[in-house]
Amino acid sequence: MSTYSTDRRSLLKIFGAIGATCAYPFASDELYGQTTTATPLPETAQHFFNKSDFAVISRLADLIVPETDSPGAIRAGVPEYIDMVIGRNTDQQLVVADGLHWLAAKNFMQLDEAAQYAVLEPLCQSADAGDLRARNVQFFALIKSLTADGYYTSQTGLIQELHYHGNTARARYPTCPEH
Amino acid sequence: MVLENKLYDVVVIGSGAGGGALSARLAHLGADVLVLEGGPKIDTRTDFNTHALPYEFPSRHIPIMKPGKPGFDGERSRGLGGKTQLWNAVALRLSQRDFKGRQHDGAGQDWPLDYAEMAPYYDRIEREVGVCGNYDHLEDLPDGIFLPPVPMKCTDVAIRDGARTLGVPVIHVRKATLSRPTATRPACHFCGNCMSGCDVVAKYNSLDVHMRPALKTGKLTLQSNSIVYELAVSSEARVHEVRYFDRETRGQNVARGKVTVVACACAQSVALLQMSKSSRFPAGLANSSGELGKNFIPHITAGFEAFLTPFIGKPSINEEGFLDHAYVPSFMHSKKRDYPRSFGVQFNYQNQRSVGWAKSVKGMGKSYKDAIKARYPAYLTFTGYQEMLPNPDSYIDLDPAATDEYGLPSARRHWKLSDEDMRLYDDMKKWCRAILEASKAEVIHPDPAPTTNHEIGGCRMGADPKTSVVNEYCRAHDVPNLYVVDASVFPSSSEKNPTLTIMALATRTADHIASRLQKGEA
């Protein structure tokens, strides 16, 4: 585990691709004009993960955004989204391979839900604190980022969960209390 | 190489804010104008993915153009209308203090013209493009000719009330987006997708508002897919050939005009002049001063994201509007401070279909999901824009190692903040945080690093040919039939969005060129 570089540049290679497409897309009022458009991913995703790895990725996404009174990550198609993104990013593939290996050593898939949370929570806390030195934290942070992006850009996440009401035509813009 | 015989009065390179406003004005004044645009033809009504949502694409990335529609694929090949197709349309006048900042604080460079000379051109441009806004009677942000303002969002009102406790003004945004229909354009319908291309042209773009109507004069020719790579000069130091690649055939072509106008959005204008080396101009065209590329002064921004706590857990409502509806105008000029110049704040310009902030919310599981849902109506962006002063480490040059598909070098931007720029930046961050806190906002990342936006400078305008590239009419000191009309000519940036000033200046230059053509001087 000691040979991995965690300097800003290599972390950017892992996390940068997410930021470029989903995070904070309106960072500036001419961003699109001044930046060469990233080539969009082809719309036919290859199946990257094998069945057992896909099951682990699905379980992680489900733990991060579970089904509640609204559908969770699995019903929103998040595992397929993660499969497609990671299938096209070799830096991310290395992080994920190490992460899956680490979880396998913990018999992650055989644990009950509470125990699975217990395995992930320290990683989540480090990731939330921005401490990405450990390889398993990088792995968790990547899966959490992709789960959030995949879920909240899905129809389930954006419309059903968040009740996005935009993209409509209105005759006039209401004065505040009228909303 | 195909030699075109036609000699136009004016060849304009670029069809965005500067090129569009200038070419339309010249055509109306009777000049024979050719506009060369690097990108393809655009049909604003049908070509953009204006109303798409992310889940329509497996990658969740909404492409700018609809399938099969080319455009906006590179810095040299955007499309007719240029960046005005995708801008956010904030339209602010510079003030007398912005034109003559050096007289106030001894820093930077003054413009060789002042507000009174620019005011009639601002008037004209505002009438042509349609700007909504409120008459606020501010010294540092002159009022213009306004359509009625659009009401503020509830979240804007929260910021306004918070800022008021600190004595900081919050006004209605001023935008080149129609709040009332005109004879040819509908009013905004508040879908919230302004920066994805406004398919009804309620938001100004130079193609539909300036150039298309000017086609009726019969004097304007729009030629797309023409990537200009060199301006060749004659022995009399006049531009006599505009050399370009045909984007579709990759063949090389030539256009000729009595006058040539460069309007390629700042860095690309500088790059074109830098690529146009000759024995007469070995350091780049119109660069006898050595100032070409120098004095690069983009806006420096501090981008915050925050949650307004009074809105956390409230029902999700449609607040989209036309992105930002309010603005914090510059207010530091009247305050004691240890740096020159000032800043303004653009805020609440996010689009509610983008939830990229969700990944920064702490935790996982049901509590995480609930926290995002609760914060969705409370999220806002809040970005300070500061004026930067010129310094020797901030400039534009060519990167010979990074070439595009035509073998042309990339424009490379270098910028570094001086100590006084940093003092302003730190104070701007402090004020941004204070306004957010006074508005009961929870700041997500309290210490953003400086970034740039709005490229400005590189072809500085000035009275002295030894220290500037163009004169007050945007005419190159060294090359009498060459003009530059974009933000590269601004001697100082102010903290205000540059586009309205680009258009006003381009109109002034158009009048100047037309008058010279009439007198046979061009």
Per DSSP, the three-state class of B500 is helix
A74 touches chain B (CB under 8 A): no
Chain A residues whose CB is inside 8 A of the B356 CB are 19, 22-25, 149
For A39, B50, B85, B89, the CA distances from B44, given in Å and listed in that order, are 22, 10, 8, 16
**CA–CA min distance A153, chain B (Å):** 6
What does residue B475 show for φ and ψ, rounded to 5 degrees?
-95, 135
Chain B residues whose CB is inside 8 A of the A23 CB are 356-357, 359
Residue with tokens 């603005």: B327
Q: Within 10 A of B46 (CB to CB), how many other CB atoms are there?
A: 10
What end-to-end distance do the CA atoms of chain A give, in Å?
A: 54
A65 touches chain B (CB under 8 A): yes
d(CA B14, CA B28): 18
- Of B380, B384, B438, B435, whose CA–CA distance to B154 is shortest? B380
**CA–CA min distance B47, chain A (Å):** 16
Whole-prediction pTM = 0.93
Q: Within 10 A of A118 (CB to CB), how many other CB atoms are there?
A: 11
Q: Quote the pLDDT of residue B378.
A: 97
Structural domain includes residue A176: no
Would you call A30 and B88 a contact, using CB atoms and an 8 Å cutoff?
Answer: yes
Question: Least CB-CB distance to B354: which of A25, A65, A124?
Answer: A25
d(CA A143, CA B116): 58
Tens of pLDDT, residue by residue over A155-173, are 999 999 999 988 999 999 9
pLDDT band at A36 (very low <50, low <70, confident <90, very high): very low
d(CA B25, CA B220): 10
Q: Quote the pLDDT of residue A19.
A: 39
d(CA B233, CA B288): 14
**CA–CA min distance B375, chain A (Å):** 10
Q: Quote the pLDDT of residue A47.
A: 85
Structural domain includes residue A175: no
Question: Least CB-CB distance to A148: which of B61, B359, B373?
Answer: B359
d(CA B56, CA B235): 57
d(CA B460, CA B472): 10
Instruction: List the helix and strand counts (H, then E) for chain B.
Output: 11, 18
**CA–CA min distance A154, chain B (Å):** 5
Structural domain includes residue A170: no
At B63, which amino acid appears?
Answer: P
For B191, B248, B319, B354, the CA distances from B198, given in Å and listed in that order, are 10, 26, 18, 18
Structural domain includes residue A94: yes
Count of domains observed in chain A: 1
Please name the residue ranges forming H helices in B44-148: 96-99, 101-105, 115-129
Which of A14, A24, A26 is the best mutation test for B, with the most CBs of B within 10 A? A26
Question: Least CB-CB distance to A175: which of B151, B353, B453?
Answer: B151
Percent of chain A with pLDDT over 90: 70
Q: Give me the residue spans of the domains in chain B.
A: 2-518
Tens of pLDDT, residue by residue over B22-64, are 999 999 999 999 999 999 999 999 999 999 999 999 899 999 9
Q: Is the pLDDT of residue A38 over 50?
A: no
Tens of pLDDT, residue by residue over A91-100, are 999 999 999 9
pLDDT band at A177 (very low <50, low <70, confident <90, very high): confident
Q: Quote the pLDDT of residue A14.
A: 66
Residue with tokens 């010979």: B400
A160 touches chain B (CB under 8 A): no
Residue A34 tokens, joined:
């001044």
- Quick one: closest CA in A to B49, which residue? A167
Structural domain includes residue A19: yes
Q: Quote the pLDDT of residue A12.
A: 62
Interface of A with B in 10-49 (CB under 8 A): 18-19, 21-34, 36-38, 40-45
Measured CA angle at B282 (ends B280, B288), to 5 deg: 75
Pick the CATH number of B2-518 from 3.30.565.10, 3.30.2350.10, 3.50.50.60, 3.40.605.10: 3.50.50.60
Specify the DSSP element, H or E, that contains B434. helix B419-438
Would you call B87 and A43 a contact, using CB atoms and an 8 Å cutoff?
Answer: no
Sign, CA torsion B16/B22/B26/B31: negative
Chain B residues whose CB is inside 8 A of the A37 CB are 63-64, 72-73
Q: Quote the pLDDT of residue A13.
A: 66
Average pLDDT over residues A43-50: 70
Structural domain for A119, as ranges: 8-164
Would you call A173 and B190 a contact, using CB atoms and an 8 Å cutoff?
Answer: yes
Residue B262 tokens, joined:
């460069």
Chain A residues whose CB is inside 8 A of the B54 CB are 153-154, 158
Q: Is the pLDDT of residue A43 over 90?
A: no
Which of A46, A167, A172 is the best mutation test for B, with the most CBs of B within 10 A? A167
Q: Quote the pLDDT of residue B69.
A: 96
d(CA B493, CA B496): 7
Chain B residues whose CB is inside 8 A of the A131 CB are none
Would you call B369 and A169 a contact, using CB atoms and an 8 Å cutoff?
Answer: no
B131-132 and B146-147 beta bridge pairing? parallel
Cβ neighbors of A160 (< 8 A, separation 6 or more) are A70, A71
Would you call A166 and B352 a contact, using CB atoms and an 8 Å cutoff?
Answer: yes
Would you call A158 and B51 a contact, using CB atoms and an 8 Å cutoff?
Answer: no
pLDDT band at A17 (very low <50, low <70, confident <90, very high): very low
Which of B60, B155, B195 is the best mutation test for A, with the most CBs of A within 10 A? B60
Would you call B359 and A28 a contact, using CB atoms and an 8 Å cutoff?
Answer: no
Structural domain includes residue A59: yes
**CA–CA min distance B263, chain A (Å):** 15
Q: Bigger pLDDT: B472 or A41?
A: B472
Question: Least CB-CB distance to A43: which of B59, B87, B356?
Answer: B59
HSE-up (13 A, CA, CB side) for residue B184: 11
d(CA B311, CA B321): 18
* Residue B163 and residue B328 in contact, taking contact as beta carbons nearer than 8 Å: yes
For chain A, the three-class secondary structure string (H helix, E strand, C coil) is CCCCCCCHHHHHHHHHHHHHHCCCCCCCCCHHHHCCCCCCCCCCCCCCCCHHHHHHHHHHHHHHCCCCCCCCCCCCCHHHHHHHHHCCCHHHHHHHHHHHHHHHHCCHHHCCHHHHHHHHHHHHHHHHCCCCCCHHHHHHHHHHHHHHHHHHCCHHHHHHHCCCCCCCCCCCCCCHHHC
Residues of chain B with pLDDT under 50: 1
Q: Quote the pLDDT of residue B4.
A: 58
Cβ neighbors of B274 (< 8 A, separation 6 or more) are B284, B285, B287, B292, B293, B396, B397, B398
Q: Quote the pLDDT of residue B131.
A: 98
pLDDT band at A32 (very low <50, low <70, confident <90, very high): very low
Q: Quote the pLDDT of residue A40.
A: 46
A8 touches chain B (CB under 8 A): no
